[in-house]
Structure 1
Amino acid sequence: MSSEFWINLGLPPEWLVFLVSALPVFELRGALPLAINILGIPWYWAYLIALAGNLLPVPLILFLLEKVLNVLEHFSFMRGFTRWIYVMGQKRSATVEKYKRIGLILLVAIPLPFTGAWTGSLVAVVLGLNRNESLLYISLGVVVAGAIVTCLCLLGWVGAMLAGLVLGGIAFTRIIHSKNQLV
């Protein structure tokens, strides 16, 4: 999308970056390329804004998600949704269960689909981890993810190709690993 689309939304560019980085799925992985490569915000300012936006929902998720899901469980039409949330958290919890605190940092830091602060927070809640410790380790993961994505943005097309190669290599390794487990 062109920069005109984003500018025509009527928000100051910094607020737009902040809001995009607070959204699930996009987080700072989407906000930093928007800020640096589309809106032309200097990388250091974009990094700080995206970091703040990405960290905003973390304490809310860590300290309120379980309570909200418990309330929603009382409504029959919401039970499928609440169960889906727990299943999603369980599916993403293997790294954290295996490597504990470092696993939580890695889950958040490695910029892959369905990883990030939202997923890390969900996994911490589902596994019943200490909320204060989880906040620290998720924050560290966000700092690392922001550094990785910022570097890739600054590398332009080279960064995009590098990210594609790394993601492709990880996907290939996981496919091979899963086939070996079936044998």
Structure 2
Amino acid sequence: MEYLKIMLLSMVPFTELRGAIPIGIAMDLNPIGVYIVSVIGSTIVSVPLVLTFRHILHFLKTKQIFAKLVIKIDKKVNSGIKRLKNVSIVGIILFIGIPLPTTGTWTASAVASILKMRIKDTLLGALLGNMLSGIIVSAISLHLI
């Protein structure tokens, strides 16, 4: 039951994986189990987030006050879409993988929505990024770094 709490904490935007791992380790749970459930929780939330952010962007296009801004962003993205597609997965991995404030799955999912990344590419980038971030945060929490 405690691992389920850690998984749910890793899905919440304020704690995400970066907060869930230290909390789980502070609760004297198995660090490997904490790492695994945190990575799973933080990764599976990326798919519904991308879909939700896409709907939000579509909704904003229909509102006159935001339409100009969203259309301008779309034009910029569409003009450089081929270059962005090649580096987008690596960008998501590094964006999530380096554990800094506001660089988690929630923000990366918003970026992936704006860049119109495929769901499977976003999921792969989120998984690998969360694995990297989880290793770093676990090592710091266990005083290895």
Length-normalised TM-score, structure 1:
0.62
Map of 1:49 onto structure 2: 37
Map of 1:18 onto structure 2: 7
Note the C-alpha offset of 1:74. Answer: 5.6
Hey, what's the Cα distance between the residues in 2 that align with 1:74 and 1:100? 27
1:25–1:114 Cα contact (<8 Å) kept: no
2:6–2:37 Cα contact (<8 Å) kept: yes
Return 5+ residue gaps in structure 1 as ranges: 1-11, 91-96, 160-183
Q: How many residue pairs are counted as aligned between the two chains?
A: 132
Return 5+ residue gaps in structure 2 as ranges: 78-83
Displaced runs of 4 or more, over 6 A: none
Please state if 1:102 is matched with 2:86.
no
Note the C-alpha offset of 1:141. Answer: 0.5
Note the C-alpha offset of 1:65. Answer: 2.0
Counterpart amino acid of 1:19?
A: L
Give the share of equivalent positions with the same residue, in percent. 29
1:14–1:49 Cα contact (<8 Å) kept: yes
Note the C-alpha offset of 1:151. Answer: 1.0
Moved more, 106-115 or 13-22: 13-22
The 3-state SS of whatever aligns with 1:114 is: coil
| 1:82-125 deviation per Cα after TM superposition (whole angstroms, max 9, x unaligned) | x7xx8xxx9xxxxxx59433221100100000101111111111
Counterpart amino acid of 1:58?
A: S
Larger radius of gyration: 1
1:19–1:53 Cα contact (<8 Å) kept: yes
The 3-state SS of whatever aligns with 2:28 is: coil
Map of 1:7 onto structure 2: none
Match of 1:135 among 112, 123, 126: 123
CA RMSD of aligned residues (A): 2.8
Hey, what's the Cα distance between the residues in 2 that align with 1:148 and 1:121? 21
Length-normalised TM-score, structure 2:
0.76
